[in-house]
Chains A and B, each alone.
Chain A
């Protein structure tokens, strides 16, 4: 063991952080998100009585499946883009007659396929292992899943834009961005568990309506359509906003020659 060599290697890793705000953020990001989610969930479990535990488990399994569908939709956009970055194929795509809209639509389509396959596998596993039959709820949950997919696409566009702008250093955002909204989306617990001052932020997220709606469907068998329409409306706003943001960043990227750099690194 040579201390000089160990120090040199340590320095090599530390120097990465000096140049990258995204890497510094990552140090704090995951622990903070974990603390928030599990902390709020614990508060929720303390609030409800032990008689409600079986219903809670159903909610948690449903939440986990829905969360994963949102995550897959976002990942379909970001990982598809990153696959081309990692393969150094990005320039081949962007110097072909492919429009940004076509590129994104292809990744959205991949998202639909992934969500369908993923949803089916998780639903079957949940049924086989935990006797949780999501299909028992019929088609009422489908619109909510579609709404989650729209939010995943919007987050995917924002993530890809940030990676284009800040390059490889921002790649961790591909996995991190969805977890940024997780604590506030009331995925595993109702909005009421959150501090009151966080409620407006939570209700500004389309996912919050979906997860609250899902819990209502699971609890009552009735679809709260008002929640669905709110999530759909907000999703349309977010989709348009993320499209505008993507276009704006793409313009900056073209001015600075960052796409070419990212594609050839």
Chain B
């Protein structure tokens, strides 16, 4: 297993953000983490990245405990989020050079150009990052996220600021790269169609608790709905669904 999360709990001033969350992700799997705002998705990802300390429970990535092997783990994964940026006043290539240095990437120039070509933004290598459009900027973040050939990619709403055309291109490209390289991906998004398209398996979170888990098609069938979007709405509106007869997370 690439990710093993066991009984993870996080409380902030008495409010439980993540409540006894357990899940695993295997090699080459794309796992979607879904839920409404405040469901605990981002907190869970940030605990996986070691920037938030869990209140209880354990996180093992690549078989190592994040609490004791954070640097080793971070060297082998990468992260991209619609809510973080790269320094706007640096050129595209300079940004990649800095992160190549941090991750110890050999032949950074060739590697960076290869990724920029892959995402069709190689013509922007000399441009300042602040001059990029949202779509170009997102693709640059993904280049940064792939610089160290990660075995695990944590993508927090990576297509949130993209128009449908670019979002579609990015998804297809991500899927292709993920298949070719066998990368494990943990993916969060509010776009349920995107999740259905890209994820092998999904976990629904609500109030920090796991409400459902399984391949998108199975989850849809389990809830007798037509789409993940309908499942999403039902879970959120029904509230504490774990008390219902279905007990889908079990």
Contacts and interface: CB of A to CB of B under 8 A. Distances in A.
Interface in B67-106: 71-72, 74-75, 79, 81, 83-89, 99, 102-103
Contact of A97 (B10, B71, B84): B71
B87 A97 contact: no
Given A97-B103, A257-B52, A91 B71 contact: no
Contacts of A88: 83-85
Interface of A: 83-84, 87-99, 251, 254-257, 259-260, 263-264
A94 B51 CA distance: 7
B46 A96 contact: no
A94 B75 CA distance: 12
18 contacts: A83-B87, A87-B86, A88-B84, A89-B86, A91-B81, A92-B144, A93-B102, A95-B50, A95-B74, A96-B74, A97-B72, A97-B103, A98-B102, A251-B53, A255-B52, A257-B43, A259-B51, A264-B84
A259 B87 CA distance: 18
Given A97-B71, A98-B102, A260 B51 contact: yes
B186 interface: no
A94 B70 CA distance: 11
A198 B12 CA distance: 42
Given A92-B144, A97-B75, A98-B102, A256 B12 contact: yes
Contacts of A98: 102
Contacts of B51: 91, 94-95, 254, 257, 259-260
Nearest to B85: A88
A257 B12 contact: yes
Contact of B83 (A87, A93, A251, A264): A264
A97 B43 CA distance: 19
Size band of the interface chain B makes with A = 20 to 34
A79 to B, nearest CB: 13
Given A97-B71, A97-B75, A256-B12, A91 B53 contact: no
B79 A95 contact: yes
A92 B12 contact: no
Interface of B: 10, 12, 42-43, 46, 49-53, 71-72, 74-75, 79, 81, 83-89, 99, 102-103, 144
Nearest to A254: B53
B84 A96 contact: no
B135 to A, nearest CB: 18
A132 B72 CA distance: 53
A84 B98 CA distance: 13
Given A95-B74, A96-B103, A255-B53, A260 B46 contact: yes
B144 to A, nearest CB: 7
A89 B94 CA distance: 14
A194 to B, nearest CB: 43
Nearest to B49: A95
Given A91-B79, A96-B99, A260 B52 contact: yes
B78 to A, nearest CB: 8
B87 A87 contact: yes
A263 B71 CA distance: 19
A256 B12 CA distance: 6
Nearest to B154: A95
